[in-house]
Structure 1
Amino acid sequence: MELSGKRILLIISGGIAAYKSLDLIRRLRERGAEVRPVMTKSAQEFITPLAVGALSSDHVYTELFSREDEQDVGHIRLARDCDLVLVAPATANLMAKMAHGIADDLASTVLLATDRPVLLAAAMNPKMWDAAPTRRNIETLRTDGISFIGPMAGEMAESNEAGVGRMAEPLQITAAVIEILDAGARPLEGRTAIVTSGPTHEPIDPVRYIANRSSGRQGHAIAAALARLGAKVTLVSGPVTIPDPSGMTTLHVETASEMLEAVTSQLPTDIAVMVAAVADWRVVTSADQKIKKQPGEAPAALQLTENPDILKTIGHHAQRPQLVVGFAAETQNVEAYGRAKLERKGADMIVANDVSPETGVMGGNRNRVKIISAQGIDEWPDLSKEEVAERLAALIASKLSG
């Protein structure tokens, strides 16, 4: 198992996302890790030490001045007797303490005393995440060598609140732990990859554009999964509302033409995964000023022209990558259209999925895909987009090693 023999010191601080730490413990232990939990006083307002202890099968440490735990300077022992310190959730308060060297409880004291790698799964209200003091603290912590996973975009616990602030999902955090601790499990070390993600926006006038409902979640997840396996990744992202993944170069573009230019500028490369939902058409000439409605007149006619086909260009390029993967987002005849796209575009694999409105795939968190190649079709079960990304990255690694 990936984490067999590894000891994780899990610090649970006081945020609503603390409930996710219960599943996180289970995920880490499934992979062979020993999890030793520390809970702040605030964390115990959300979940109980009893539940944490039951899942971790270990003593739950809560007090800095515990007669039993501190008889052998227990906070130093906790700080050193582990392979990694994981804080999930990492609140703005605890991050501020870390950035300023404050050690006024067991969790903050352990973090100041440790000489092990530290990974923070940040979680807080979006306004707190964007606040100037938090941004300064993050910069300080990154400079100090602290690693981050998340936060992610989505709905908050507060009613009618959404934005960047959700704690990463347990599987994402587990993958990040494996990346830090198991540097040997990096089969794509030394490889380069280009991933496209999100939609493109094709301007009609200064305020309108042609686009689609792609969120970029699947493309960003694939880029992150490839990076975790050791690849040097360049992510070419259309306009999205989710944060850039860490550990890679991200190029931001708006139109299909800009995306094609950005992709070809990165050639040659070993891997190309074209996930972006590129708009098929653009207007021949976009208006310099907003097109106004005229009373009694028909809507202005839009003359459309076809956008460049990025996947086909890369699939038949003189500097074609060793492995080219395309995506086929369809609402009907998924397999037939996927097979046709595989041949027409010059790809090695097509990841085909049904994006009909009832599936919730476009803009959602889950996906159900079929991997189409010259060897046949492999249908995967319903998975989170992060799980699809992990499977696809592993498949790409195996194809290249084979």
Structure 2
Amino acid sequence: MKHLIAAALLALCVASDLMAQAGSGVYVGGHIRRARPNTVTNLKNSGFTYVILFNVDVQEDGTLKTDGETICKDGEYVFANEQPHYVEDVKALKTWPTGIERIEICIGGWGNQSYRRIKALIDAQGTGENSILYRNFKALKEAIPEIDAVNNDEEDLYDYTSAVKFHTMMYDLGYKTTVAPYTYKQYWQNLVNNLNRARSGACDRVLIQCYDGGANNNPSDWKLGNLPVHAGRTNYQSTMEESINQMESWRDHNGVVGGFVWVYNDETWNLNQWASAMNRVFPSHKVENPVVTLYSESNFQGYAVQLPEGRYSMGELASYGITDKDIASYKMEPGYKLTAYVNADLTGFQKEYTDAEMVRLGTMSNRASSFLIEKVDEEAGINELQNTTNKATVCYDLQGRLLNGRPEKGLYITRQGKYLIK
């Protein structure tokens, strides 16, 4: 019996750890700036749990640029001269209402020579506090501390010695590292091993490219230093359904715990549909003390998600796997109230539900974008109903058990979920 209990506890710990490593991500191009603020709203409402901003281009003198515009120069953040809203937009990605929990910047990409320039700068100046790399990335971190990590998409030089020095410096500045390989496994193995030897936990995720040049990659071959593996598709290489089916196969057969998409750079695809579907494949939330189960179809059919008490924006619901306007019925523990809203942020037309279950949400079926789950105010409910109670009302106790006969004086719940005194 002890062995069985130990095995069960180990399985729970493993499952919890895998869930913590899971998630859904998307690379974000310059479209986030060109079409703001709609792009920022779309990302917040998407349900992706992390975003990777593409990209930061390191120049020969250490200046940081993107799309030809200067981000940091000579140790100062100067991007506000050309993009006055960028800081507030990036900060907003993590500000409620949102499902985004992590922000990364990408360095590299096809044809990008940033890591060649980084090597030359490190050879000339090192990575100390007076080096231009240190000063510029420090200025970026101070301007936008919400940036959690740097995503290494090296596709040019493949010099792991200088890369380890660079990412060690970045860790000391407060940036984690993720790697995005598509080829040259030995380079990435050396980078991950040596970086995490220099700074334990500095690199915490592998994002294997399974598209374009890496289309034939098998995620099973890219387990580097026991890091969690996320595998990626593009939003244009197949239908969404085909990509989701592929991700399910990676999860079941290749040890993949998360997924990502390249690239959000236009409005031709639905971010919320992609992210919510991916989050069903790779759930990242450990639900404790659930009180409501939401169903995507009436009569408690379709996809079901359990939620604890709390507020849930459109993006947060999608991070649990709930597509926007996709809820038609629910079941709820006694003593709680569910409020459905038509807008993404608990605003707009709303409807309250206190019944223990509803086979259909009526006017809000497949119309709600956000939900509030809260305990019923017992005293308010008692005061409201105590003068209107009739003796024939069917009652339940606070544990939801049907009371036979006339109940004693005390607190009960009607079939409609409301409190009353008998």
Length-normalised TM-score, structure 2: 0.32
Bigger CA radius of gyration: 2
Which TM-score applies when normalising by structure 1? Answer: 0.33
Which protein, 1 or 2, shows the higher relative CO under an 8 Å CA cutoff with sep ≥ 6?
2
